[in-house]
Amino acid sequence: MNRTHRSGAPKEPRARQSLDPEMLKGTLLEGQSIETLQALGLVTERGGANADAHRKLKQINHFIHQVTPALDEIFERYPEPVLFDAAAGKSYLAFALFELYIRRHGRGHMYACELRPDLANRVQSLAERLGFGDRFTSLQGRIIEVPLPERIHFTLALHACDTATDEAIVRALEAKSDFIALVPCCQAELSQKLKACKGPLSPLWHHPWHRREFGAHYTNVLRTLTLQARGYQVNVTELAGWEHSLKNKLITGKRMGNYYAPAQEELKQLLQQIPVSLWLHETLKAREQASTPEDHTVQS
Ligand SMILES: C[S@@+](CC[C@H](N)C(=O)[O-])C[C@H]1O[C@@H](n2cnc3c(N)ncnc32)[C@H](O)[C@@H]1O
């Protein structure tokens, strides 16, 4: 219900205004418990949420809604599905997926990776306090370095900063992840590298603002083609409903095989026209050459 000022003008919601429990219920997914959200600090003791927490919850649940068919599929197909949340932050997403899938089915494992030790430790204690500990592992470290099972079934990276999204792609490819879902965050890598890239197309990124925008766009195009070239069927869409986030692009992929030649060719042609060296490609090449997957895996 819209409240009004005494003047009669509609009252603007304050940034941290509390939303009542009834309003919050409409945001929750079936199987999502208020107790876990309270433990995470997203929901207050009264069962309400401030506007920031409510927005975050909406984002997470919208993301889950988009990847539900893929999650259903892996829980149908595998007895012990392995989920990997890269750049997990406070692990809101990882805890939600844990409740909705792993706890509900009583099988599977969630690995949540976070660089910051304070966050990763907090997540591990919370997982233990909530009784999730035997099927939930908080990994502290860089996505590219943390020990993971040899096989992952679903890789997620929600707002992983800059090349952290690429780290998630590398781990997903190495672990033959059946599905991948990425919502890229800030992307600075190519805006620097494009400066040195001269040619008939360079007016596209001549101005610094265009360079940032084009750099981010080109990065995501190259990520998409790289996934396709490595056998993923890819979909790029908008996370509708994320009205307060500019980082609103969802890239999902389903693994169909080891490679796809037409996409490999498109990628090659594109890189001939706009030649940049991407951290993702350099890293994939270096790790494939080193070809010592044992160094980066643990047995599940
Ligand atoms: C913007 S937050 C997003 C957190 C969470 N996915 C969410 O959407 O609420 C990005 C997180 O990624 C972490 N991060 C950045 N680079 C990383 C890396 N290379 N490996 C692991 N975590 C990383 C940061 O510490 C931060 O907590």
Q: Is the pLDDT of residue 176 over 60?
A: yes
Residue range(s) defining the domain that contains residue 228: 56-287
Q: Whose CA is nearest to atom 14 of ligand 1?
A: 87
Number of domains in the chain: 1
Q: Does 40 map to a domain? A: no
Q: What is the pLDDT confidence band of residue 245, given thresholds at 50, 70 and 90?
A: low
* Residue at 190 is within a domain: yes
- Phi and psi for 111 in degrees, rounded to 5? -110, 120
Q: Which residues line ligand 1 (CB under 6 A)?
A: 87-89, 92-93, 113-116, 119, 142-143, 158-161, 164, 167, 185
Judge whether residue 252 has pLDDT over 60.
Answer: yes
Per-residue pLDDT tens over the stretch 45-62: 877 888 888 888 888 888
Instruction: Examine residue 155 and state whether it is found in any structural domain, yes or no.
Output: yes
Expressed in angstroms and rounded, the spacing between residue 44 Cα and the centre of ligand 1 is 24
Question: How large is the average pLDDT for residues 235-240?
Answer: 86
Global pTM reads 0.90
- Pick from 258, 89, 264: nearest CA to 183: 89
Q: Name the burial class of residue 67, with classes exposed (0-12), middle (13-18) and buried (19+) by CB atoms within 10 angstroms of its CB.
A: middle
- Structural domain includes residue 3: no
Using CB atoms within 10 Å of the CB of residue 201, give its burial: 0 to 12 exposed, 13 to 18 middle, 19+ buried.
exposed
User: Residue 282 C-alpha to ligand 1 middle, in angstroms?
Assistant: 22
pLDDT value for 260:
97
Tell me: pLDDT of 128 over 90.
yes
Within-domain flag for 93: yes
pLDDT in the model for residue 3: 38
At 247, which CATH number?
3.40.50.150
Residue 98 lies in a domain: yes
Alpha carbon of 239 to those of 60, 100, 249: distances in Å? 10, 20, 6
Q: In this predicted model, what pLDDT tens digit does every residue of 51-97 receive, in sequence order?
A: 888 888 888 888 999 999 999 999 999 999 999 999 999 999 999 99
Residue 102 is classified by DSSP as I
221's tokens: 């195009």
Instruction: For residue 293, tell me if it sits in a domain.
Output: no
For ligand 1, atom 18, which residue shows the shortest CA distance? Answer: 142
